[in-house]
Amino acid sequence: MPPADADNAAARGAVDDSAQAPQRVPQPGVDVPDRRGRTGLDRVGRDLDRNPRVRVRDVRVLTSNWYVTRATTFDFQHADGRWTTEERETYDRGDGATILLYDAERRTVLLTRQFRFPVYVNEHPDGMFIETAAGLLDEDDPETAIRREAEEETGHTVGEVQHVFDVYMSPGSVTEKLHFFAAPYGGGTRSSAGGGLADEGEDIEVLELAFDDALDRIGRDIVDAKTIMLLQWAALRGPFAPTA
Known binding residues for Mg(2+) are: 134, 149, 153, 202
What DSSP string runs through the chain?
--HHHHHHHHHHHHHHHHHHSPPPPPPBTTTB--TTS---GGGTTTT--S-TTEEEEEEEEEE-SSSEEEEEEEEEE-TTS-EEEEEEEEEE---EEEEEEEETTTTEEEEEEEE-HHHHHTT-SS-EEEE-EEEE-TTS-HHHHHHHHHHHHH-B---S-EEEEEEES-TTTB--EEEEEEEE--GGGB-S-----GGGT---EEEEEEHHHHHHHBTTTB--HHHHHHHHHHHHTSTTSPP-
Which residues define the annotated binding site? 134, 149, 153, 202
